[in-house]
């Protein structure tokens, strides 16, 4: 049977405590117990349905987690205060000092910095590899490796990870496959393809209104319980917990995620085809020129399209900056990092979201100075948007 993320979310039924159509927001940081014994049991993780303290979890956070687990097809989920607040605890939970991670080299700059600069302080080392080459991934695995880490579609180069292939490797060497699915919520369900843990920055498409931060870890009940343990759980002890008010607003925005993803995909497909036809070097997984187009298509949940992210290369940072400034002036989008907003957002990753990666390494992975990353918005009239972008490009001689 086909996996239907949007149906799974819609089929969850929860009412507010007064019969409200939205669950009530739990506006408390701490919870009372009728008996001291139950309080003790809850600390030990043995009192289902009882709440302890908001850093542990809250009813609002559990509701949001349930919806995200339904979307990803995992047993359960734990929400966090940001994407990094989800990723860092997962890696610290899975690895001890002396252990090793094999990671895609093209990942979000913050995650890259965490793996490259922070985890070595705990004596956890990472090898960065071209994730599209399974033989290279396998060659990087050592006896100390515990985790394979990648993004489904990488930030910013839009490389596609072969989740099933990576999962086979993970199983062969008894590793945990952790996949960041931030760029492709609903489109792709990594856990269905064999990922052990799926993380997201909710700050992006899932919330979709660029007004809050959030993160989530989707996985087995055992793993999520371990992360929440009061004794040694990285989520509980590192303290990156989401506030209930924000959890409830993200849950409400999630109701329209499937509609938004379809519109982001439709608009991005239109622009990618038009940009490519102009002769611009365009990367979009929906284009047949994308090196992993066929693989990507084979992993998609049909109906949500190819996603809202695309890149073009305009040749130099000067041209990229001039084009982005002019497009913003003409109200075609915002010169801003992040993604998943109703307006198109654009940035030059080399000097923004990937600036943690050294120039040399950027070169090695093919991240050029003239690259512009677009998160395509929900524009009702994308043909008009294209015409206006085209005019900007002609004016600045980005195209001749
Ligand atoms: N993962 C990806 C793919 C991202 O693009 C980002 C942020 O840009 C993150 C994780 C981190 O998320 P947050 O900014 O919510 O901590």
Tens place of pLDDT per residue across the chain (400 aa): 689 999 999 999 988 889 999 999 999 999 999 999 998 888 887 777 788 899 999 999 999 999 999 999 999 999 999 999 999 999 999 999 999 999 999 999 999 999 999 999 999 999 999 999 999 999 999 999 999 999 999 999 999 999 999 999 999 999 999 999 999 999 999 999 999 999 999 999 999 999 999 999 999 999 999 999 999 999 999 999 999 999 999 999 999 999 999 999 999 999 999 999 999 999 999 999 999 999 999 999 989 999 999 999 999 999 999 999 999 999 999 999 999 999 999 999 888 878 888 888 888 888 899 999 999 999 999 999 999 999 999 999 998 8
Q: What is the pLDDT of residue 358?
A: 86
Q: How many beta carbons lie within 10 A of that of residue 167, not counting itself?
A: 20
Ligand 1 atom closest to 107 (CA): 3
Report the CATH number at residue 308.
3.90.1150.10
Report the CATH number at residue 186.
3.40.640.10
Residues 270 and 334 in one domain: yes
Q: For residues 356 and 359, what is the distance between their CA atoms, to the nearest angstrom?
A: 9
| Domain end call among 254, 289, 317 | 254
- Give the total number of structural domains in the chain: 2
In sequence order, which residues have a C-beta less than 8 Å from that of residue 49 and are 6 or more positions away?
Answer: none
In DSSP terms, which residues pair with 77 in a beta bridge?
Answer: 218
Residues 212 and 297 in one domain: no
CA proximity to 6, closest of 261, 238, 231, 316: 261
Residues 146 and 229 in one domain: yes
Sole residue written with tokens 């005019």: 391
d(CA 274, ligand 1 centre) in Å? 28
Sole residue written with tokens 């989401």: 242
Kindly state if the Cβ of 201 falls inside 6 Å of ligand 1: yes
Q: What is the pLDDT of residue 353?
A: 77
Residues 171 and 265 in one domain: no
| Domain end call among 232, 254, 276 | 254
Query: Which residue's CA is minimally distant from atom 13 of ligand 1?
Result: 83
Kindly state if the Cβ of 375 falls inside 6 Å of ligand 1: no
Q: What is the pLDDT of residue 204?
A: 98
d(CA 18, ligand 1 centre) in Å? 36
Residues 245 and 292 in one domain: no
Tokens for 31, please give them: 């919870």
d(CA 179, ligand 1 centre) in Å? 13
Kindly state if the Cβ of 198 falls inside 6 Å of ligand 1: no
CA torsion sign for 128, 129, 130, 134 is negative
Q: What is the pLDDT of residue 17?
A: 87
Residues 182 and 246 in one domain: yes
d(CA 37, ligand 1 centre) in Å? 41
Residues 9 and 99 in one domain: yes
Kindly state if the Cβ of 59 falls inside 6 Å of ligand 1: no
Tokens for 154, please give them: 């990488």
Tell me which of 82, 88, 131, 182 to substitute to probe ligand 1's pocket, judged by most ligand atoms within 8 Å of the beta carbon. 182
Residues 146 and 228 in one domain: yes
Residues 90 and 222 in one domain: yes
In sequence order, which residues have a C-beta less than 8 Å from that of residue 20 and are 6 or more positions away?
Answer: none
400: in domain: no
Residues 188 and 301 in one domain: no
d(CA 184, ligand 1 centre) in Å? 13
Q: For residues 188 and 190, what is the distance between their CA atoms, to the nearest angstrom?
A: 6
d(CA 85, ligand 1 centre) in Å? 9
Q: For residues 282 and 302, what is the distance between their CA atoms, to the nearest angstrom?
A: 23
Residues 241 and 383 in one domain: no
DSSP 3-45: --HHHHHHT-----TTS-SSPPP---SB---SSHHHHHHHHTT
Residues 57 and 147 in one domain: yes
Q: Give the 3-state secondary structure of 333-347.
A: CEECCCCCCCCCEEE
Ligand 1 atom closest to 213 (CA): 15
| Domain end call among 254, 281, 299 | 254
Q: What range does the domain containing 82 cover? A: 5-254
DSSP-based three-state secondary structure for 121:
helix
Query: Which residue's CA is minimally distant from atom 11 of ligand 1?
Result: 83
d(CA 296, ligand 1 centre) in Å? 21
Question: Rounded to a whole number, what is the distance in angstroms from the first to the last CA of the chain?
Answer: 50
Sole residue written with tokens 């927001």: 25
């Amino acid at each position: 049977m086909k996996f239907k993320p949007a149906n799974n979310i819609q089929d969850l039924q929860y009412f507010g405590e007064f019969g409200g159509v939205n669950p009530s927001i739990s506006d408390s940081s701490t919870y009372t117990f009728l008996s001291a014994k139950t309080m003790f049991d809850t600390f030990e993780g043995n009192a289902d349905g009882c709440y302890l303290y908001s850093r542990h979890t809250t009813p609002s956070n559990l509701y949001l987690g349930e919806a995200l687990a339904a979307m990803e097809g995992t047993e359960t989920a734990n929400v966090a205060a940001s994407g990094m607040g989800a990723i860092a605890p997962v890696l610290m939970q899975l690895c001890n000092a002396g252990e090793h991670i094999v990671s895609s080299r093209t990942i979000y700059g913050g995650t890259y910095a965490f793996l490259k600069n922070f985890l070595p302080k705990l004596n956890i080392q990472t090898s960065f590899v071209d994730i599209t080459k399974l033989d290279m991934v396998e060659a990087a695995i050592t006896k100390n490796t515990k985790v394979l880490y990648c993004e489904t579609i990488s930030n910013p180069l839009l490389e596609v990870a072969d989740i099933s292939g990576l999962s086979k490797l993970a199983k062969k060497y008894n590793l945990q496959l952790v996949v960041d699915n931030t760029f492709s919520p609903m489109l792709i369900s990594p856990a269905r393809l064999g990922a052990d843990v799926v993380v997201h920055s909710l700050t992006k498409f899932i919330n979709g209104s660029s007004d809050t931060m959030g993160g989530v870890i989707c996985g087995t009940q055992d793993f999520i319980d371990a992360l929440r343990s009061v004794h040694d759980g990285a989520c509980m002890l590192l303290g990156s917990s989401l506030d209930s008010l924000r959890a409830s607003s993200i849950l409400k925005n999630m109701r329209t995620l499937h509609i938004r993803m379809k519109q982001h995909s439709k608009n991005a497909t239109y622009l990618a085809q038009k940009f490519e036809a102009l002769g611009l070097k365009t990367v979009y997984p929906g284009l047949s020129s994308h090196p992993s187009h066929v693989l990507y298509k084979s992993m998609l949940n049909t109906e949500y399209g190819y996603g809202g992210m695309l890149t073009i290369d305009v040749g130099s940072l000067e041209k990229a900056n001039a084009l982005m400034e002019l497009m913003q002036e003409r109200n075609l989008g915002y010169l801003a990092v992040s993604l998943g907003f109703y307006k198109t957002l654009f940035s030059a990753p080399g000097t923004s979201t990937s600036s943690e990666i050294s120039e040399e390494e950027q070169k090695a992975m093919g991240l050029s100075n003239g690259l512009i990353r677009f998160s395509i918005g929900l524009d009702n009239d994308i043909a008009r948007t294209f015409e206006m972008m085209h005019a900007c490009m002609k004016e600045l001689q980005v195209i001749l």
